[in-house]
Each structure stands twice: as structure tokens, then as C-alpha cells.
Structure 1
Amino acid sequence: MEALNWSIIYGLFSFVAASVSVAIAIYLAPHWKNISVRVLIFLMVAVAVWSLAYGMEFISPDLTLKLWWVKVEYFGAAWVGPLIFSFILVIAGGKWQLNKTGYVLLSFVPLLVIILVLTNNDHHLMWSHAWLDLSGRAPAMAYSREIGFWGYTAVSYILILVGTIVLIHSLISARGIFRKQLVVVLVGIMFPWFSNVLYLFGFEELKTLDLTPVSFTISGIAFSWGLLRYQMLDLIPLAHKAVLDSMGDPIIALDMNDRILEINRAAQTLFKTSALVPAQNEVKEVFPLLYEQIVKFRQHHPIDVETSFAVETMLTYWNLRISPLLSRKEKQIGWLIILRDITDRDTAEKAVKESERIQRIILEASPNPIVYYNKTGEVTYLNPAFTKVFGWYLDELLGKRIDFVPEENFEETKKAIQKTYDKPSGNYNFITRRITKTGEILDVSINSTLSRTKDGSPGSMVVNFTDITKIKKTENELRNTKNFIRSIINSMPSILIGLNIDGVVTQWNAETQRLTGILADQAEGSLLKDIFPQLSGHIPNVRQTIEKRKVGKETKATLTIAGKMMLTDITIYPILSASFQGAVIRVDDISERVRIEEMMVQSEKMLSVGGLAAGMAHEINNPLAGILQNTQVIRNRLSRDLPANIKTAEECGIKLENLKAYMEKRNIFSMMELVTSSGHRAAQIVENMLSFSRKSNRRKSSHYLSDIMEATIELVKNDYRMKKRYDFRSIEIVKEYQENIPAVSCEKSEIQQVFLNILKNGAEAMVDAGISSPKFIIRYFRQQDQVVFEIEDNGLGMDQETKKRIFEPFFTTKDVGVGTGLGLSVSY
């Protein structure tokens, strides 16, 4: 019971550590854009996974489940070393930064460790044996560690050791608040070192308890405390000091008590002071004259003023900028003071003011928008015409960049600016688009001119805009209308050709291009008689057609295009307008329509023949019945020992036995059997014809498809064509019928029609192809809940073009009068 209680306590301890790590990650989430925050969040998530899995390991009841949670632990633990190393490099800044390749290489080790852990049963590189150690306060996992584990541990220690060395190196050179930040990080990194040493080489009481994940949670708490206490994430990377020192203007950072937090090298030089201890010296004691100006002008928002005070007994003019320093939560934490010496500038400004006044008069009178930019791309002036066209006033954009370039025009604008810089004259014209203050997009023509300094380096830029939106709109409308008309013409399935009054082609649509193979670019501008001579012969003089102002038409004209002969309707429409005189020629292919009309006539004929055949079948049945009945009577009177037969034979002086012997020796009875068999066969043929020709009431009933196929085969065996020497009975039929197939619900005559059409088409195709031994293979089988008939022949088959159209009504490869093109269409 005691062991169980300690297992739960250890597990809860790890769960608390995991919860704290997750809380830290969530707290840091709003600062995600900062790379150091991202690394710290990943570190806390890895620690949380490690701690959670470690806690589950403790409360798991058996070895198998504990070992499973051990493997889960590595999904967090494997990443901790690389992540703590990355975090230290990020906050150290400067030369210690990793690039993308470095992060990829650093990720290789944890990924390899995770793969080795998951596949340990195959190679035992991480541990060769695992068991439950019951010697401690709670049952815990024990292992026989192998080379993979020690290699992973060595890499993790090396990474954390190198990171610690980098941290100490940065701490030595750091000053002020940044030194305190690094001390916090260093203290935080010591916890994992201490706890892991205790686990691997520590006390007997702790030998089964790994405090490393908990220690990393404590490190996360330390880092977060540094964030709250020293605004670590607001001020890192630490290399910002080098940036401040590189600036030529004096810069001083104060806290809310006016104590100096930071002072750059330019300020030290100006006020003849050395480095100061942060937050130890008040500005009124070190720089009393500057303090008077700060107190006089500062407000709770950034402010720029021009002022003066003496430096080494010489009065100097300054631009003084005082800005509040804000924390991440927008809470003021101090002041930023920036000084700029404007003593020399003051005199120069007066000299140019008069010139600027004259220029301003000219600019404000211009009807075109004009903008002046400085060399950093910020607006220094815009004229009233710019405000009228684009909507912005000068005070809204002064000292700012104008965000009015559409995203899709950004690259071309960037290239135009570069070309302006590259040209010696510094002048470039281009057409693009710009967005007004109200969101309207304007088409503009831009002339940009670059002024250069005496040494030839780029100076300010003047940009002159011309609004061409209405012009572009008109051009687009004309272009769209032209494209719309062209699309309509190209979508027509007919040949459409435009001609001027001289017979020169002005329009050549897509269908004409497809049929003739002549591109529109080649045809337009050429005489019709030169590029389409076979059509020009069917067209009267275009000039006469235009003068008569009447539509001309020729029906069923024969044209040969690309080697294909077709019947066409040719129509000529005259076009008369003030600016153009010409005609449009439309050619419609009516070959298929004429073919269908002929087939419809043939189909009507076949319908009449079918009705006649049905009537003839009825008439044949009557004499056929008489033949069969009388044949049976004759056989009975000659072969059976009936009293009437014996009596009649004796009256004629003949013995019935002798008569029967004669009939048998002369094979008369066999001939009578043949007559009877032939009669029954003829009767069956007639019955099949009547059944096939009988109109269906579309009532379905159960039928065995094999019976319908057999009846169809018997019916089609009577199909004989003298002209083609075609006899269906000469075709070999191989039947592969599966047994015990149930009846299906269908309309018998329709299924028989399908079988008949397929068999006749296949038979005719094999005969036409000259197949020496034509053969059908008919397969009949059940497939799941369906009954399947497959009919295969050994003909030549169909090409791809024919396959696409075999189920189209009236499509046939046979001559008119031979096929109707309805067989497979009806079947489908």
C-alpha cells in the first residue's frame, strides 16, 4: 500500500510540473512572433510531454504499460537538449544565431532518438533489458542502458554545456539590465544540471526518481520571472547595444524616476562622461541642462521640439525627441531621449525657403497630382491636385510612405523605381494602377524624376501622376466587346468567314480553322480564292451580293475539305455600315442530317416489311398445320394395327404386315418423320417471328435468359443473304453457360431484340471482314446479384472513333439501305 501511495504522489508531482509548463507556454503565446518566445514555447511543450508521460509511468500498474509511457517520454525528452541550446543562442544574439540549416541539423538528433526508442525491440540500442525496481519508495523502471542511450545523453549534455558556456561568455561582456537578464537565464539552466546529476549519480533515496523534467519546469518559471522582472523578451536580443552605439545621435533611456538606464557612445562623448551603472544615476545630477529641457517639454506621447542649450560654453541648437517607453502591455516604463544637432541646418533652411515658396506656387497650380519623396521613400510634399484625385491631405502623409500600390502592381512599381535610379537622367515613364483613400482603383500614367546630389548619389524623387482611368476603361470595353464577339463567332459549329468588298478575309473562326487546318493569322488578310478555292467556286461575286442587299443561299452543295467530301448549305449575309462593307459566309455541314433523313425513309420501309412478314407468318401457319396433321394421320393408317386399317387392307387383297415391311424397306416412314420434323421446325420459326414482331405491352415477367438466347439463335439461323453468301448456320457457336442460374424479371421481346441485333451485327461484321472460320463465344454466368451475358466474336473489332458513336441513333458504318444505325441504339 505504501508503494502505491508514493507512486501516486510521484505521478501527481510530475502532472503538476506538466501543468506549469503548459501554463508557461500559454502565457508566452501572445509573443509568438518573437523567435526567442517560439523556442521557449517549444521547450515548455517538450517538458510538459516529458513530465506528463513520466507521471503516467509512475501510476501505471504493470511493466508493459510503464514501458509504453517511457517511449512516450522520449517524444518530449529528446527535444529538450536541442531546444535549451537554441534558446540560449537566441537570447545571446549576435554571432551565436542559428540559420535554418542549423535548426534542421539540430533536429536530426531528437528525431533519430525517437526512432531508436520506438524500434528498440528490434535492435536494443537504447536498452537491452528493462525491469521494475521495487527497492525504492515506489516501483520504478530500471534499465540496462546501451550505446544509443549514452550517445543521446552525451549529445544532450554537450549541447547544454556549450549553451552554458555561451551564456557565461555573453554574461562577461554584458552590462546593466542585460547582465541581470543573463543571470536569470544562467540560474534557470543550473536546475537541470543539478537534478540530472542527482538522478544519474545521486542519493539512494532519489535513485528511482528523475527530477530532470521538473527541473526544466523550474527553469521555465525562472525564464518567465525574468520576462516579468526585466522585460527580457522586450529587449532581447542583447546585441541591441551595438546598434545604439553605432547611432550618431545621442540617445538616453530613463526609467520612471528619471534614472539613467542606458546611454549610447554619442551621448557619452557629448556630455563627457563614461559608462554609467544602470538605474543608479539621476539625469538631473549628470546632465542638469538637458534635464531642464526634458521637464519642460515631455508629454505622455512622442514629441519633437527644437531647442538650444550650451555645451562646453557654446550655444548649440538641437532637435529634441522625447518618447515614452512602453512595455508589451502598453504600460509606460520610462522615457527615450534622442538629440540631433541642427545648428548647421538652421542657416541652410532659410536659404531654400524662398525657392520652395516659388516651387510651391507652381506645384499647387498643376492639374496633375504631384508628390515629392525623400530618399527613404517618405512623403515631403503633395499638391492640391493629389488631394483632389486620391483623397489624402498633406498632413496625413507627411513623413510617411503612401500605401496605395495594389499588391498585383507592387513588383512592376519596384522595377520602375529601380529603373529610375539606374538611368543617368533619373527619369522614367510607366503605366500602372493606384488606390485612392476611398478604395477606388485608378489607372495612372507615372513620370518619375530623380534628383541627384553633387556627388551623383540619389536624392529626392518627384512623381507626376496622370489619371487615365476613363481612357483605360474605354479601351477595356472595346477590347471586351471585340473578344465577346470573337468568342461567339468561334463557338459557332459552322464555318464562318468574313470578307470585305474585295473578297479579302477579315474573319476566320475556330471551326473554319479546324476543318481547313489554316490558322486565322494566316487566313486573315488573304484572298478567299487563294486559301479556300473549293469554297470560292460556290460563291457569286461578293460585290454583287452587297449591292443587291439580299441574303444568298445554296443548299446541298458538295465540298471537299481536308480530303473529306461533305454536303453543305452555304449562306451569304451582306454587311452594310458607314465604315465597312462586306459579307459573312456561313457553311453548315448537313451530311449527317441528309444521312439520317435517308435512314428514316429506309426505317419506314423496314417497318412496313416487318408488318408484311408478320402477316405472312400468320398465313403460313394454316397450311403448315394441315401438313403436320395429315402427315400424322397417314403414318397412323400405314403403321398402326387398327381394325379399320386391317379391314381396308384385306378388302384390297393386301396384308398390312407386307405393306409396313415395304414402307420400312423404302424408308418411307423415315421420310415421313423428316417431313414431321421439318414441319415442326417451320412452325417454331413462324412462332419465333410472330413473338418477335408482336408489339410489347412492356409487362415484365420471369424468364430464363438462356431460353431467350436459344430462341433468338434459332430465329437468326434463318437469316440467309444471297448477295453476300452469308448463312448464320455456318457460324460456330460456343456456349459457356453456368448452371443453376435463376430466372430474371424482364420484358422478353426487348431482350430478344437486343440479342438479335448483337448477333446479326457480329455475324455481318465477320462476313464482311472475310473471317474464314467465324465464331461466337457466348458466356452466361451470375455475378453477385446480377446475371451477365457476354457475346464475343473473332472479327476485326472497332476503331476508337467508331466505339465512341456505336450507341448514337442512325449511326452506321454500312451503306444506305443496308443498315439503319438503330440496332445498337435501340439495344442501349
Structure 2
Amino acid sequence: MRPTQIRALKEKIRQLEEENRILNQIIHKAPIPIFVLDQDHRITHFNQALEELAGIDAAEVLGSRDQWKAFYAAPRPVMADLIIDRSSDREIIEHYGMKYDRSPKAMDRFAATDFFPDLQPEGKWLFFTASPFTDSSGNIAGAVETLQDVTQEKIKENEIRELYRIYRNILEFVPYPIIVYRENGHVSYVNPAFTKVFGWSLEEVTGKPLNFVPEDLKQETDDILDRFRQEKSLARYETRRFTRTGEILDVVIWAATHTYGDTLENFVILRDITEEKRLAANNQSIMRISSALPEYPDLEDLMDYVSGEVKDLLDVEGAVVLLHDEIKEDLFFLGAAYDDQTTLERAREIRFTLDEVFAGKVIKTGQPAVTNNADSSLADYPERDKKLGYQTRSILCVPIKSDSRIIGVLCAVNKKQNLFGDNDMELMTMIAGTVAISIENARFSDALKEAYRDVASMNRAKGKAINHLSHELKTPVAILTGSLQILRKKLDAVPGVKLSSTLNRIERNLDRIVDIQTETADIMETGAYGARQLLIKMLEACQDELETLIETCLEQDILDPDHLLASVRALIDREFGPRSMHHKTIDFKQTFNTVYSRLLPRFHFRRIDIETEIPDGLPDLELPPEVVVKVIEGLIRNAIENTPDHGRIDISACPKEKGILFEIKDFGVGVEKDHRKRIFEGFFTTQETLLYSTKTPYEFGAGGKGADLLRMKLFADRLGFSIEMASERCGFLIHNEDPCPGDILKCQYCLEQADCLNSGHTRFRVFFPNGKK
């Protein structure tokens, strides 16, 4: 070999040795712990970083197969050993379990993280990688293993994991629903409170999107999410969400973003405020309804308002207030509110029996009731929907109670969302309490107004009765007094006639009659007499009758002086006792024709069109004939005296329910509303006394003494027939004192007869049963 070649070779060797020295130095000084094994598993490199990690000097192990001493207390292969031996996955798993991973780019490279308890001082977590290297022929010449102390990272990781566990445990006990979303919007966690409120379990929603936003809120929710992604937090957002069963809840939402390692999570806290809003709405509604009471003096208007409030509060298609008619035993609409106007109008005209509607069940039991089953509701109450022309799918009814009475029912019909529940029933019950107070107050108010009208009417009747009696008595008494004076003078001129005692007694009684007006006024004003005055009045009242009776009986020698009291009683019973009435079979048409024919001459001067329709074949009556005659005569006279000339009177009779319905209808001035109730009370006249008292019978406005109708009513009560009156005051005569001219041709308001016939009327109906009471 030439010297130049020798020198070149030596230079090449020197360069290789230098490169080897530098490479060894790099490995030895590398900050990452490294060791290298040859194909015989002997340690060729053991750097300083590994010496520090393992606590072993490299000189002790270089060239040996004790690489295990750096990590374990007993001999066992390390990852590099397994790679050199080309160990299978099963063999690797045997030593490292499932803690290792193959590199996706080179299947002979391995990485793993494990805890090495034998490393000082208390064991260490190492992340290690191993890879083989080959010779020029491609055969494995050894393996390199690098290690990294990740103990601190593992400690922090474990701390974080523990904190996460604690935080998860805390979330388990938080009473508010919580959802944790991944960055992709899928649910990673829901707490038990969420499951309790919304119904979905953790297993049902994990790894899936949770779609529980109502359709009408989706756009708003998207806008909120965009803002949340920018601001990374959301403070108090009030909205609504579905539950698993489809119920809609009012909720308040708070949200924040949290990063866990490389994972971004969104925490959402929800609070169900449905109950709070319901209670607040309930309180506001009760306050609103209570405040509205004075604004609705009319009870029906108030109940319409309450029905509207219930319809809006419960979000239903309709709400009604039904009152219980305890006499007719049915239900009628006092207030109603429906989305459908046709149903609303139809409802106001309908009455239901208790068995035709669901509300009847509430009336009978006194307990609230609800049904969300349309089929069951329709099957049980088919007449309800048929009458209303409306389909009832669900209904909630609560009783309206006053003390221990059920006076009505408050109903909500067809819930638009969700089903009727306990909260709806609670609200309805609260409103029903307010409604009950309003209804009772209205009834008391109506009763007070009615009582006031009655009292006012009675006061007017009292005054009219006093004036009437006074005027009726004055004229005949004056005539009798004058006649008595004339008689006294004539008798005094007749010799042998001694009637001064009798004449004095007559005069004394006439004076008493004159005093009746004053005495009656005193009684009305003072109200009572003392006992002494009462006894004196009773004695004075009986004195003359007793004297007359005794004188008459002495003359007829029928008085027993030894039994004076018994004799006087017998005389009183005979002269003043009740008259007996005998029932007879009566042909009504014949009786009517007889009475009518007898009365015709008495009112021939009146120009009134009287239409009579008394058919043949009427059933016979079993009544005292004089009673039937007095009823027919009294009603005809009453009709004629209240009908102006050129007016009309309809008289008819027809068979009805085993009897006869007798009707007289005059198209006269009619009777005022306040007077209708007192028309049968006796000595009550519908006109002012001075307007008729001087007229002859059957003249327009003549009137009577006010006793005819009372007598008819007493006959009816005693003998078992009935009499009733219906009247409409003439629309042109607003007040009772407004006079009627008594002739249609003279009326300033009537252009033709029809104007008067359509303005007022009075109809008396008498039903005579054909049986004997």
C-alpha cells in the first residue's frame, strides 16, 4: 500500500473515530435519558440523564445485560429487549399490558407510559419509546430506548382527574338541571336533577345532540348560541324548553365554556321557573280579577271577563261559568269566552241537565274533576257537543262554592298545549273562590235592590190604599149622614114612633166611619196602641152589633138570659159566620155567555172591539157557580176599564190538561213592573185614586175598590184553581202618573190603532181544573 493511501486511510479512520466520539458525546450529554443495546442485549450506551433518573453509574452497567437494574428490582426484559427479540404483541402485553402503542408510521416503534415503583424516591411515571436499528444488511443490530420523567404531569393529571371526579360528584347533588356539551354540540353529561326535571337519563343523551328547543324559539336560540361562542358565557337567559313527555317548561339558563386538557366543554345550568311564573301569574290574575270587580256592575259582564282571564291563563280554547238552577235542576251559562265566536253565541242560549255535561258531576260530588281523554268525554256526554256544535277534547271543572252550597261550576275546555294538571286545578280553584264571592255579592245586591223596590212599592201602595179608602168612605158616609138627618126629621113628625135610640146608634156608627181615615193614618204612623186603648177599641167595635143583636133577639124571644154568652155566640155565628159554598157541575160556555150577555148593557157606551172565542166541547167544571161568575165578571170589567176606546180585548177559553184555560187579554195601558207583584194583594189599585174614583163602572180608568183581584186569588187558593197575570206597560206612558186620554183617536202618540195595540197589554190567565178540590 502506498504511503499516500496509508495516510488517507488513517485520516478516514481518524474522522470516523471523531464522529463516533461526537455521537457518543451527543448521546451521553443528551437531556433525555437514553440507553442503547446491541443485538446481544448488552448495554452500549447509558447517558448521564439516565444515570440521574435511575441513580446508577454508567460504568456499572456498560457492556452488561443489567439494563433492568435501572428500572426494576428484579430481572425482566425492558422494551428494547423485546424489540430486539422481535417479540409478539402477546409477549409485549404480558409485560406491559395495554399501556403501549405502535407508531402508525413504523410498526417496529413502540411507546408507552407506565409507573415504575422501584425508582427513587417514591416511584416515577416514565414515558418511554423504543426502536430498533439495523446493520448494513438490514438485520437488527440493536435497539434504542428513550425515557422521559412525566411524574409531575401525571400527578397534575391525577389531581385534575380527582378534581373532575369531585366536581362530578358535586354536580350529582346540585338541585338544578345541568348539561355538559362537547365542542361539537353533543351531550357528555347530565346530572340527576336534569333527569328528574326533563326526563332524559344520562345513558339516553350521552354522545348525542339534545333537541328540546320549541320550534318557535329555534331562531332565537341560534342567535343566543352565536353570542355565547363569542363571549364564552351567558348570564340569565329566560326561555322555554320541552321535557321528554312533551311538556313545555319555563326556564332560566346560565352557560360558560371550560377547557379540560385539550377538550372544550360547555356547561349549561337550567332552573325550572314554571312554578314561580305560574304562582306569580296566579297572584297577578287574582289581583287583576279582584281589582276588576267594581268595574263590572253587571254580573254577566263580570263572568265574561273572568272566563276570558281563565282562557288566557290556562291557554285553552274556551272557558265558561255555569250556574246551578236549584229549582229547575239544570245548568245555564252565566259567563263564557271561546276562540270560536259561533260557539260563544250558541252557548248563551243553552241550558243543560246535570247528566248532560261533565260539570254536572262536579255539582253532584262537590269535587274538582278533569279529563284529558276525548273519547271518554264524548262517550259519556254526547248531548253536550251536539248542542254546542263543538268538539270537547279535554275539560277541567272546579266547583263554585258558597258556604256549604255548590252554586255553579268554573270550566276550562280544550288545553292547547300539554295536558290539564294539578297546577291548572289549583289556579281554577283560586279563581272559583273569587267568582263565588262575586256571584253571592251580586245576588245579595239584587235581593237588596228588590227589597228596596218592594218597600218603596209597599209605601206607595200604603198611601194609595189610605187615600183610596178615605175617598171611597167619605162620599157614601156624607150621603148617609144627610139622609139620616132627613129621616130623623120625618120620623119626629110621626106621632108614636120611638126610634131615637136606634137613630142615635146609627149616627154614632156613621161618626166612627168618618173617623176611620184619621184612625188608619194614626195606625200607619204610630204602629201600635197600648193594651187599654186596644181593648176599648174592641169593645167599641162590638158594642153596636151586640146591642142590635140583643134587641132583635129580645123582640123575637130567642135570647136565653140565663145563658147570655152562649146565646150571643150562636147569634154571631148565624149572622156573621162563614158562608158555605156548594160545588156544582158547570157548563163553562153557557155560564160565560150568560154573564157576558148580562154585562153587555153596562158597558154598551164603550167603543171597544171585544173578540170572544169560547168553543163547544169544553170539559165541565166542579166549582161553586157564584165563584166562576165573579171571576168572569171581575176580569171582564178589569179589562174594559183599562182599555181605551177604539182598543181591543181578546177573550178565549180552551181545554188544557183535564181542565179549562180561560184567558182575557186587553191591549190597554198595562201595569208598571213594581205594581205587578202587588196586583193580587187587595185594596191595591194601579192608578191614582183621584183619576178614577168619581167615574161610573166600566168607564176607562174607573177602577174598583182594589179587592176584586184579591178575592179571585183567595178563591183560587181555596178551591184549587190558578190565576196569573202578565203585563207590559204602554211604551208611551213611562210613569204611572202619565195619563192616557182614554181614546186611541185622541192619543198624541198613536197614528193608528196598531200603534196602541203594539205598545202595551195585560193578560190574565185562569186555569180551572175539572176535578173538585
TM-score range with shorter-chain normalisation?
under 0.3
Task: Return the structure number with greater relative CO, CA threshold 8 A, min gap 6.
Answer: 2
> TM-score by structure 2 length?
0.25
Normalising to structure 1: TM-score of the pair?
0.23
> Could you say which structure has the higher helix fraction?
1
